[in-house]
């Protein structure tokens, strides 16, 4: 690896930096020409849906409806490199464990089903028949409650529906998914507050909005196509207010790489009109302050006979809990709000002033809001702010959680959930004539607890890199080895394959970009975007190898090998024609998926009906609920913190998709050639006696065992006092498993109490 370089980057998001970074990856993956032609089909009606983020796909697509990172994801999946049996013959699993995440995936696409052979410590080729039969045998021998069926959020609606059904027919609701580590506070918080577990805005709302607010979402790296909506909004002089501890480039300025004029003139649009560097976990306090300011301004308006600030008729007709919420806000003291948010009263009031003037506001948020001990309360606090001025269920206004994986929201819609009440079990019972399990299943954190305690004995993963994505990686890796069976359906080699159970299988699958030929011809699949629109997707390139199979095929074979035959299901017929899976989905959810097959390629997608958009509140109170948080503290039950303690934020770079590391540069943050970084405030650094560029170790300040990551290089950075930041997944060993959102159990990856130690042994890389 080249020498790491740290130097501030002053280019905009998008722009020439983006064009160059994209060219580099196309060349590295050895697909410059076909890659470029392929990208023209990305996110278009009748094309394929990007395998990167879940951002909405417009009805009128741009010529290039993709972004730097979506294109990188396509290049990464469509690489010319292959990782077949020869590779595994050459390398033992023990050897591969010493490789980086980058090096593992960089071997290219997996081409053959593989079985772990303990004698040679290698993965060896196995036939599909043998693999599925052996897995079926093991699963039949196990107690169903001891098996976990994980899903990362990429698999299609069709695959996910079959997978959930398979788990339930097998006998459990142990269906954790990546959203348990991601937007679960959205599913829990929005459901309780406004009666829908998902965002309420659609793409058109952006055109009608006159204020956008961003809380903890890094648009420039993680959903760059959204920058077009932001640029349009700024052209209409719509203000954008951002709350983020870090000054993220995409939230500062953007040059549209698809605009010849902008590229030639190096013109950049300013994105945020106010940028508040809130402390990690300080959002509840910041938003409370805004609400307090609005309530005060409303009282004042009332006294002098000016128009009200609060939307009183909306509050009366549509909400519950208003008085208690007002009492809570008024009881808060500004000094405490300032301390907990890290913002000044005047900064918070400035945000409130702009909010009070706007007619239609969209509240956009991501992991900065959800991945906290009080993540669900933070989401609900944002809802409170929106309710004060009736900003839900109105054109141009609403909540916009930016979902992660391209079909993570859709998986939940078709039954991937550990919560039995969220799946239509009675319908499934009727439709397929079996008795679905009614007991609550395991979510991600509970599955980890089960693995630690030994109650969980087998793990099946539909995509993802579970062992790397979860908290407490070192402890979890150790416990993982005692699993009896691990099965990973995957496209590329990752660490979860190498921490194998007693019996371990890697089942390589087709990616969404590839043509999926079945008995009735080439198949389409479907997914759901962040804005609850269903889209069809057709593969365009030849399969990477004859050895791989489609995800629906693999799930069907596993089901057939495990379950008793059921006359109400022909897994083979489903695989022969995915349209019949969509018919089955429609039969299970008739209101949601009405005529899914007929409308699969409608430009702009098929909207899922959402009660809250029409101001129907499917909550316990029958109203939209104001929810009073328990307190301002983002981390309620940490022991007394030492003076050396900092809150660590784990982040994505601009060169990764979750645990998939595309490269070692984080252009926007000025880091080149390394991911072993600790961003620190210059004053904290001086106060604690460290210097810029020094190598340090980081330990978790936790009541139980010692957790540490060694050999991080300090980079002085513009970050609030008391906070520091570094990259996920390298820092996951620092997150205690118990350090999760109290309500949704989403690991709290954004404010981990840590201490920094002078490094015993410098390690670079």
660 binds ligand MGD (CB under 6 A): yes
Q: Which residue's CB is nearer to ligand MGD, number 319 or number 531?
A: 531
42 binds ligand MGD (CB under 6 A): no
171 binds Mo ion (CB under 5 A): no
Residues 6+ apart with CB under 8 A from 406: 49, 50, 51, 52, 53, 54, 153, 154, 527
Q: Which residue's CB is nearer to Mo ion, number 123 or number 728?
A: 728
x/- letters, 257..286, toward ligand MGD (CB under 6 A): ---------------------x-xx-x---
Among 182, 295, 555, 754, binds ligand MGD (CB under 6 A): 182
Residues written for the chain: 765
Least distance in Å: CB of 649 to ligand MGD?
A: 5
The angle, 0 to 180 degrees and rounded to 10, between the axes of the packed helices 15-28 and 32-39 is: 130
Hey, how many other C-beta atoms are within 10 angstroms of the C-beta on 80? 12
Are the CB atoms for 287 and 219 separated by under 8 Å? no
182 binds Mo ion (CB under 5 A): yes
Q: Pick from ligand MGD, Mo ion, none: which does 53 bind, CB < 5 to 8 A by kind?
A: ligand MGD
**SS3 label, residue 661:** strand
Q: Pick from Mo ion, ligand MGD, none: which does 720 bind, CB < 5 to 8 A by kind?
A: none
Are the CB atoms for 699 and 438 separated by under 8 Å? no
Provide the token pair at 406: 């391209």
557 binds ligand MGD (CB under 6 A): no
Please state the separation of Cα 20 from the chain's center in Å: 26
111 binds ligand MGD (CB under 6 A): no
368 binds ligand MGD (CB under 6 A): yes
Q: Pick from Mo ion, ligand MGD, none: which does 368 bind, CB < 5 to 8 A by kind?
A: ligand MGD
381 binds ligand MGD (CB under 6 A): no
The sign of the dihedral angle between the CA atoms of 264, 53, 113, 663 is positive
Least distance in Å: CB of 680 to Mo ion?
A: 26
**SS3 label, residue 647:** strand
Scan residues 22-61 and list those touching Mo ion (CB under 5 A). none
Options 184-192, 245-253, 392-400, 478-486: segment touching ligand MGD (CB under 6 A): 245-253
Least distance in Å: CB of 307 to ligand MGD?
A: 31
Among 651, 680, 712, 756, binds ligand MGD (CB under 6 A): 651
Among 396, 415, 511, 539, binds ligand MGD (CB under 6 A): 511
Provide the token pair at 46: 């009748």
Options 231-239, 323-331, 338-346, 649-657: segment touching ligand MGD (CB under 6 A): 649-657
131 binds ligand MGD (CB under 6 A): no
Least distance in Å: CB of 562 to ligand MGD?
A: 18
d(CA 358, CA 380): 21
The angle, 0 to 180 degrees and rounded to 10, between the axes of the packed helices 283-304 and 345-357 is: 60
Are the CB atoms for 498 and 114 separated by under 8 Å? no
x/- letters, 311..350, toward ligand MGD (CB under 6 A): ----------------------------------------
Least distance in Å: CB of 196 to ligand MGD?
A: 19
Least distance in Å: CB of 536 to ligand MGD?
A: 16
Hey, how many other C-beta atoms are within 10 angstroms of the C-beta on 400? 25
Q: Pick from Mo ion, ligand MGD, none: which does 389 bind, CB < 5 to 8 A by kind?
A: none
Strands (E) across 221-331 are located at 240-243, 253-255, 269-270, 274-276, 319-320
Q: Which residue's CB is nearer to Mo ion, number 523 or number 658?
A: 658
Least distance in Å: CB of 77 to ligand MGD?
A: 7
Q: Pick from Mo ion, ligand MGD, none: which does 562 bind, CB < 5 to 8 A by kind?
A: none
Q: How many CA atoms lie within 13 A of 331 on its CB side?
A: 11
445 binds ligand MGD (CB under 6 A): no
Q: How many CA atoms lie within 13 A of 554 on its CB side?
A: 31
x/- letters, 399..438, toward Mo ion (CB under 5 A): -----x----------------------------------
Least distance in Å: CB of 226 to Mo ion?
A: 15
Residues 6+ apart with CB under 8 A from 73: 50, 51, 52, 657
312: left (phi over 0), alpha (psi -120 to 50) or beta: alpha
Q: Pick from Mo ion, ligand MGD, none: which does 532 bind, CB < 5 to 8 A by kind?
A: none
Least distance in Å: CB of 178 to ligand MGD?
A: 4
Which of 629-661 are b and which e, b meaning 16 or more Cβ less than 10 Å from the residue's Cβ?
A: beebbbbeebeeeeeeebbbbbbbbbbbbbbbb
Q: Which residue's CB is nearer to Mo ion, number 31 or number 53?
A: 53
x/- letters, 575..594, toward ligand MGD (CB under 6 A): --------------------
d(CA 202, CA 533): 8
Q: What share of the chain is helix, strand, coil (3-state, %, to 5)?
A: 40, 20, 45
Rg (CA), the chain: 25
Site size toward Mo ion, by CB under 5 A: 2
Name the nearest CA neighbour of 9 among 646, 647, 655, 650. 655
Q: Are strands 677-680 and 695-700 parallel, antiparallel or unpaired?
A: unpaired
Least distance in Å: CB of 470 to Mo ion?
A: 13
Which of 204-227 are b and which e, b meaning 16 or more Cβ less than 10 Å from the residue's Cβ?
A: ebbeebbbbbbbbbbbbbbbbbbb
749 binds ligand MGD (CB under 6 A): yes
Site residues for ligand MGD per CB under 6 A = 52-53, 69, 105, 152, 154-155, 178, 181-182, 215-218, 221-223, 243-246, 248, 278, 280-281, 283, 366-369, 371, 402, 404-405, 462-466, 469, 489-492, 494, 509, 511-512, 551, 649-652, 656-660, 728-729, 732, 735, 749-750
């Amino acid at each position: 690896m080249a020498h790491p370089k740290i130097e501030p980057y002053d280019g905009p998001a998008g722009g020439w930096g983006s064009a160059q970074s994209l060219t580099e990856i196309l060349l590295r993956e050895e697909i410059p020409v076909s890659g470029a032609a392929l990208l023209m089909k990305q996110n278009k009606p009748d094309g394929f849906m990007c395998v990167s983020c879940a951002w909405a796909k417009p009805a009128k697509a741009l010529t290039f409806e993709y972004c730097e990172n979506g294109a990188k994801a396509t290049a990464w999946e469509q690489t010319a490199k292959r990782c077949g049996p020869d590779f595994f013959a050459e390398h033992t699993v023990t050897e591969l464990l010493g490789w980086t995440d980058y090096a593992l995936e960089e071997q290219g696409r997996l081409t053959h089903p593989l079985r772990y052979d303990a004698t040679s410590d290698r993965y060896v080729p196995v036939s599909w028949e043998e693999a599925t039969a052996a897995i079926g045998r093991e699963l039949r021998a196990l107690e169903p409650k001891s098996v976990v069926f994980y899903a990362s959020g990429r698999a299609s609606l069709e695959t996910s529906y079959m997978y959930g059904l398979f788990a339930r027919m097998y006998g459990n609701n142990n269906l954790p998914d990546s959203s348990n580590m991601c937007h679960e506070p959205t599913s829990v918080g929005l459901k309780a507050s406004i009666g829908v577990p998902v965002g309420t805005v659609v793409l058109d709302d952006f055109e009608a909005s006159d204020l956008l607010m961003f809380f903890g979402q890094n648009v420039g790296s993680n959903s760059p196509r959204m920058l077009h909506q932001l640029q349009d909004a700024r052209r209409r002089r719509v203000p954008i207010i951002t709350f983020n501890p870090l000054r993220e480039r995409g939230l500062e300025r953007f040059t549209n790489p698809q605009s010849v004029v902008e590229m030639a003139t190096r013109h950049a649009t300013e994105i945020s009109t106010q940028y508040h560097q809130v402390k990690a976990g300080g959002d509840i306090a910041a938003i409370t302050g805004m609400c307090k300011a609005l309530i005060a301004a409303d009282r004042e308006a009332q006294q002098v006979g000016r128009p009200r600030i609060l939307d009183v008729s909306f509050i009366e007709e549509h909400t519950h809990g208003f008085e208690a919420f007002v009492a809570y806000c008024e009881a808060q003291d500004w000094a405490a709000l300032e301390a907990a948010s890290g913002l000044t009263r005047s900064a918070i009031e400035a945000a409130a002033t702009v909010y009070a003037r706007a007619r239609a506001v969209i509240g956009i948020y991501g992991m900065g809001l959800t991945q906290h001990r009080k993540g669900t309360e933070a989401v609900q606090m944002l809802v409170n702010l929106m309710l004060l001025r009736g900003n839900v269920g109105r054109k141009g206004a609403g909540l916009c959680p930016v979902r992660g994986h391209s079909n993570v929201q859709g998986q939940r819609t078709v039954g991937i959930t550990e919560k039995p009440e969220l799946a239509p079990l009675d319908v499934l019972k009727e439709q397929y004539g079996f008795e679905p399990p009614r007991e609550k299943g395991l979510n991600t954190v509970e599955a980890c607890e089960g693995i630690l305690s030994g109650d969980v004995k087998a793990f099946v993963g539909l995509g993802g890199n579970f062992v790397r994505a979860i908290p407490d990686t070192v402890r979890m890796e150790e416990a993982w080895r005692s699993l009896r069976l691990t099965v990973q359906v995957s496209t590329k080699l990752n660490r979860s394959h190498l921490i194998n159970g007693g019996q371990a299988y890697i089942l390589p699958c087709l990616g969404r970009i590839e043509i999926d030929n079945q008995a009735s011809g080439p198949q389409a699949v479907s997914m759901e975007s962040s804005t609850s629109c269903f889209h069809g997707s057709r593969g365009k390139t030849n399969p990477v190898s004859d050895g791989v199979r489609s995800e629906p095929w693999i799930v069907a074979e596993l089901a057939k090998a495990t379950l008793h035959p059921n006359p109400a299901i022909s897994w083979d017929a489903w695989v022969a024609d995915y349209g019949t899976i969509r018919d089955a989905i429609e039969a299970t959810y008739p209101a949601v998926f009405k005529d899914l097959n007929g409308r699969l390629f409608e430009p702009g997608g098929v909207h899922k009906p959402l009660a809250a958009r029409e101001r129907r509140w499917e909550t316990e109170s029958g109203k939209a609920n104001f929810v009073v948080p328990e307190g301002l503290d983002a981390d309620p039950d940490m022991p007394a913190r030492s003076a050396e303690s900092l809150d660590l934020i784990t982040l994505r770079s601009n060169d990764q998709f979750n645990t998939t590391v595309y490269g070692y540069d984080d252009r926007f943050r000025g880091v080149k050639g390394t991911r072993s970084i600790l961003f620190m405030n210059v004053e904290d650094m001086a106060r604690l006696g460290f210097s810029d560029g020094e190598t340090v170790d980081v330990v978790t300040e936790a009541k139980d065992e010692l957790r540490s990551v060694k050999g991080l290089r300090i980079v002085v950075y513009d970050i609030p006092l008391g906070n520091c930041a570094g990259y996920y997944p390298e820092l996951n060993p620092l997150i205690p498993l118990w350090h999760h959102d109290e309500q949704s159990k989403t690991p709290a990856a954004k404010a981990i109490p840590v201490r920094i130690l002078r490094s015993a042994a410098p390690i670079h890389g």
